[in-house]
């Protein structure tokens, strides 16, 4: 087992080229899965026996909520790798994750409110799940604000990296909030150890959306990563070729 592949992942020109090559392989399947999931979720899946057609919000709410947690976890891992091994590309990955995660956290909160109103009779409740998800949104904003406030990139990487790593304790709190505390929010129906509780015709579009959103995140983060690497590398020789100057 050689570690060359790992070292190459720390090399900006290598990562830049790899990101460019990989993006369409993530982006196009993501687009197809999301379109298929929309069709399945809005048209093919039968109405829920309790929530009627209102339950269809799950097909946009659950994947957004999944991304909000998955992107934060990725960001924290990238930041930790950057802090521990002092790998600049890892910090660039973390910085690329934040705006994507923040926007999907907002989507999860808003679609959750739109689902809560008809089902629970309220848009918002200071409930453990909802509150911890809102804290996640503020963690993302704090991370981005901290980076924006520090001129020197290396100092920004370190300070925001520590925040990202510390904030990751919120992720299991959000996930288990519905089990630990008495919450308005329903328990997980897919992300659980036992078999999912949804029937196949309802589950398939949801799985397509979950996978589609995940691949979409991959494509988005790779595009942002290339921008981030270009901004950090200043005038290195390989940049000339990469931007065709």
Partner 1 sequence: MKEFLDMGGYAAFVWPSYAITLAVIALNVYWARRRLTQARAAARRRIAMHEEGA
Among 24, 46, 52, 172, binds partner 1 (CB under 8 A): 52
| Distance separating alpha carbons of residues 220 and 97, to the nearest angstrom | 9
Choosing from 6, 21, 28, 42, the residue that interacts with partner 1 (CB under 8 A) is 42
Site for partner 1 contains 74 (CB under 8 A) = no
CB of 112 closer than 8 Å to CB of 61: yes
Closer to partner 1 at the Cβ: 165 or 198? 198
Does residue 141 interact with partner 1 by CB under 8 A?
no
User: Using the rule CB under 8 A, is 224 a contact of partner 1?
Assistant: yes
Is the distance from CB of 55 to CB of 47 less than 8 angstroms? Answer: yes
- Rg for the chain (alpha carbons), in Å? 20
Q: Cβ 162 to partner 1, closest distance in Å?
A: 24
Residue 176 or 214 with smaller CB distance to partner 1: 214
Instruction: List binders of partner 1 among 102-121 (CB under 8 A).
Output: 103-104, 106-107, 110-111, 114-115, 117-118
Burial 70-79 (b: 16+ CB within 10 A, else e): bbbbbbbbbb
Which residues are CB-contacts of 130 (< 8 A; sequence separation ≥ 6)?
109, 112, 124, 184, 185
Under 8 Å between Cβ of 88 and 190:
no
Q: Between 95 and 164, name the residue whose CB sits nearer to partner 1.
A: 95
Closer by beta carbon to partner 1, 57 or else 83: 57
Per DSSP, the chain holds a count of helices (H) and strands (E) of 9, 0
Encoding tokens for residue 215?
Answer: 């691949």
Segment 161 to 220, residues that bind partner 1, using CB under 8 A = 216, 220
Find tokens 């196949």 and name the residue: 200
Q: Could you give the 3-state DSSP secondary structure of residue 48?
A: strand
Shortest spacing between CB 197 and partner 1, in angstroms: 21
3-state secondary structure of 52: strand
Q: By CB under 8 A, tell whether 22 contacts partner 1.
A: no
By CB under 8 A, is residue 147 in contact with partner 1?
Answer: no
Region of 1-9, 38-46, 76-84, 161-169 interacting with partner 1 (CB under 8 A): 38-46
Distance CA 160, CA 91 (A): 9
Asked if 150 and 156 count as a contact pair (C-beta separation under 8 A), the reply is yes
**Applying CB under 8 A, does 64 fall inside the site for partner 1?**
yes
Q: Which of 15, 26, 45, 60 binds partner 1 (CB under 8 A)?
A: 60
Q: Which residues bind partner 1 (CB under 8 A)?
A: 34, 38, 42-43, 47, 52-54, 56-57, 60-61, 64, 99-100, 103-104, 106-107, 110-111, 114-115, 117-118, 216, 220, 223-224, 226-228, 230-231, 233-235, 239-240, 242-245
């Amino acid at each position: 087992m050689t570690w060359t592949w790992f070292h190459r992942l720390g090399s900006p020109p290598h990562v830049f080229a790899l990101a460019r090559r990989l993006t369409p392989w993530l982006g196009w399947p993501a687009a197809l899965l999301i379109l298929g999931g929309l069709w399945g979720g809005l048209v093919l899946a039968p109405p829920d026996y309790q929530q009627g057609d209102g339950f269809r919000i799950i097909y946009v709410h659950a994947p957004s909520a999944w991304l909000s947690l998955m992107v934060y976890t990725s960001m924290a891992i990238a930041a930790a790798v950057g802090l521990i091994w002092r790998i600049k590309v890892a910090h660039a990955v973390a910085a690329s994750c934040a705006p994507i995660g923040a926007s999907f956290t907002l989507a999860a909160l808003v679609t959750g409110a739109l689902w809560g109103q008809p089902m629970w009779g309220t848009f918002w409740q200071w409930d453990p799940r909802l509150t911890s998800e809102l804290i996640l949104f503020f963690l993302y904003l704090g991370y981005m604000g901290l980076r924006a406030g520090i001129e020197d990139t290396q100092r920004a990487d370190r300070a925001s990296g520590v925040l990202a790593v510390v904030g990751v304790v919120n992720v299991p709190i959000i996930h288990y909030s519905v089990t630990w505390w008495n919450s308005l929010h329903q328990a997980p129906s897919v992300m659980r150890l036992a078999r999912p509780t949804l029937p196949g015709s309802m589950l398939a579009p949801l799985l397509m959306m979950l996978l589609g959103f995940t691949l979409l995140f991959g494509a988005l983060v790779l595009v942002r990563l290339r921008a981030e690497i270009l901004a950090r590398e200043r005038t290195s020789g390989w940049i000339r070729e990469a931007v065709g100057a």
